[in-house]
Amino acid sequence: MDLKTIIETLDLTLLTDERDFSDIHIDSAYMSDLLSCVMTGAKPHGVWVTLIANINIVAVASLLEISAIIITEDAQPNLETIERANREEIVLLSTKESSYHVSGHLWYLGIKD
Amino acid sequence: MSNQGALSDSSAERITRVEELAYELTIAEVMTKNPVTLTINMSMRDALDLIGKYKISGAPVAKDGKLIGILSTEDLIRSLRDGRIDRKVTEYMTHKVITVREHDQVVEALKMFAKTKVGRLPVVDENNKLIGILTKGDISNGVLTALQRDLEAEELIRYRASHLFEDIVSDRTSLILRYTIKKDDFLHGGAASNRIKKALLRLGASNQTARKCGIAVYEAEMNLIIHTNNGGFLRVEVEEGKIIMEAYDDGPGIPDINKAMTPGWSTATSEVRNKGFGAGMGLVNINNCVDEMIIKSSTESGTNLFMIMYLDKHPNGNEHGSKNHH
Report d(CA B109, CA A112) in Å as an integer. 48
- Window 205-234 of B: residues touching A by CB (8 A cutoff) are 211, 214-215, 218-219, 222
Identify the pLDDT of residue B240. Answer: 84
pLDDT score of B15: 54
Q: Tell me if B148 is assigned to some domain.
A: no
Report CB contact under 8 Å: A36, B197: no
Nearest to B240 by CA among B126, B318, B164: B164
Q: What percent of chain A has pLDDT over 90?
A: 89
Prediction pTM value: 0.63
B57 and B120 together in one domain = yes
DSSP states along B192-246: HHHHHHHHHHHTT--HHHHHHHHHHHHHHHHHHHHH-SS-EEEEEEEETTEEEEE
Out of B108, B142, B176, pick the residue that ends a domain: B142
B190 shares a domain with B297: yes
- Per CB-CB distance under 8 Å, the chain B contacts of A59 are 189-191, 193-194, 218
- In this structure, the answer to whether residues B225 and B286 fall within a common structural domain is yes
Q: Are residues B169 and B303 in the same domain?
A: yes
What is the reported pLDDT for A97?
95
Specify the 3-state DSSP secondary structure of B63.
strand
In which element (H, E) is residue B50 found?
helix B44-53
Same domain for B180 and B81: no
Domain ranges of chain A: 3-108
CA distance linking residue B106 with residue B94, whole number of Å: 24
Higher pLDDT, A103 or B165: A103
Per run of 10 residues, the mean pLDDT along chain B (length 326 residues) is 46 62 88 93 93 90 94 92 92 92 90 87 92 93 90 83 80 91 92 92 87 93 94 94 94 90 87 84 90 94 95 47 42
Count of Cβ atoms closer than 10 Å to residue B304 Cβ: 15
Are residue B183 and residue B138 in the same domain, yes or no?
A: no
Whether the pLDDT of residue A92 is over 60: the answer is yes
Domain count of chain B? 2
Nearest-CA distance A108 → chain B (Å): 27
At how many degrees (to 10) do helices B136-162 and B191-202 cross? 80
Domain assignment present for residue B151? The answer is no
Which 8-state DSSP code applies to residue B26?
B
CATH number at residue B273: 3.30.565.10
CB contact under 8 A, A35 and B193: no
* Listed residue (B259, B243, B242, B241) closest to B295, CA to CA: B259
Q: What is the CA radius of gyration of chain A?
A: 12
Selection from B168, B262, B264, B182 nearest residue B222 by Cα: B182
Q: Is B180 in the same domain as B83?
A: no
Instruction: Tell me what ipTM this predicted complex has.
Output: 0.74
Q: Are A35 and B222 inside 8 Å of each other by CB?
A: yes
Cross-strand partners of A100: none
Find how far residue B172's CA is from the centre of its chain: 33
Contact assignment for B186 to A35 by CB distance below 8 Å: no
Chain A residues touching chain B at CB-CB below 8 Å? 17, 33-37, 39-40, 44, 50, 52, 54-57, 59-60, 62-65, 80, 83, 86-87
Range of the domain at B109: 9-142
- Tell me the pLDDT tens digit for each residue of A17-38: 999 999 999 999 999 999 988 9
Look at residue A107 and tell me whether its pLDDT is greater than 60.
yes
Q: 3-state class of B138 per DSSP?
A: helix
B-chain residue closest to A53, CA distance: B275
Contact A63 B218 (CB under 8 A): yes
What is the structure's pLDDT at B269?
A: 86
| CA of A5 vs chain B CAs: smallest distance (Å) | 25
Average pLDDT on A52-62 reads 92
pLDDT given at position B267: 87
Domain A3-108: assigned CATH number: 3.40.1390.20
Residue B310's beta-bridge partner residues? B242
